[in-house]
Structure 1
């Protein structure tokens, strides 16, 4: 994003997370041509999954502003006061608003655009082979990101299933007639779920925000403004390295996600299998005890 080309806002613009509003942004408030203001409602901090994603860097990335463009920033309406020498980093989780404030405000000052005299010289021509290599790597990144989204959805489903299985409690005859060994085995399987669930949530978090990093936003903008139209730009070799780094990051994340998915499915199947065994043995135990009780009643 070229911040200089962004028109001043006339009203708050909603930012969404999975289709639901989670924050608002206002570009260039009156007499502040280099400022952008984010407003985050208390409800977003109460959202378990979203709260861990609320950082200044993520909010800036959601509107295409790189953290390298930030000159200064401050918070208004936060719960408690942060000493000046303990200012959190852009990647740190934002604090919730105070009891009196309904929103937390993040005010960011963007660095001024260099003067015309400071602009770099015209970029050198880029060979067609290098254009093709850049475009191929970018397309590879997009392909992996599409696969990551599919994987994220699968992990989300497996996480929900595993979470439900880990919260299951015994009722009725299962609770009364279950064998101690079966209960112990089932509890052990559920304990494994407690270790797998955080890994699933962490992968979902990383996969959700993979396309929102400042580096990724910058490369996407470069593709739209220069690469697609074959308009020369400086540091083409550096862009190739960045794309290669981005590609490897996605490959590592995809491999991690595949492992997490397999673990979640395997543990969920183990929990369900232990429960079925427990229920089967409990049912048989109940039949035996009732038959024995009836037999004693007839003898009496």
Structure 2
């Protein structure tokens, strides 16, 4: 199998590539899979997150919005895993960087889908987010819930999802969409909450906690996220959405407390900052479908996963310090 992974030098994409090439998924035939990573290497992409000398890995620096590049690159590939995205909500609120979210997440996705149709790539998995649904006061979203994004980032991802699903229904492309809860783990850029707070604590800096800290998210280890995407690649149905959930729900305040404890710090290190504009209060996914149809369940407990993540950042300061200054 030849697999193209867009955004494969980013946090989730690189974990997928490392795990696949290391035989960590256990799927029959993975030992013969050749991976092409396509990544623009913006600030969030890092070649140091990939096994550069692996014999079954090719790296191409390029933009998913570059149609001529895609038309030359895609022939011969059996599937595309589409991780590439602008993903930091705060950057989507900034007028200077907001256009990047439309350019990459919407136009880039449409260009990639068009290139797959033109070159005959038969299978695409589009990786998305629970943020496309907006906020939910109680209960959990199922896959048939209409999207109601409330940030520019979420709106760009919702548009990309709809383009992917429309490409299936209009052109017959075998596309599946995954929507996951908040993901954490090693090699995550320090702009995101968990690595930002951990690296701040390791450097003796205060933690900026938005508002009252009562916003609720589910937290899933990156390995469980990638195993779910791999399962959808091999067994997911065309035109379907799969929730990657069953993460551990925590308020931002509760998560902050656990990170303080793991880093040997106390609440004197926390300062309250004005809440993010349009900050969604609560997300929750119903993951019944992926469990029932594909047999996927998370296997990394939150306590162990978070402790291992903190330990990784403690042991790898060169990686995150370089990433923070990109």
Q: TM-score, normalised by structure 1?
A: 0.25
Judging by fraction of residues, say which structure has more strand. Answer: 2
Judging by fraction of residues, say which structure has more helix. Answer: 1
Q: TM-score, normalised by structure 2?
A: 0.24
**RCO higher in structure (CA 8 A, sep ≥6):** 1
Largest Rg, 1 or 2 = 1
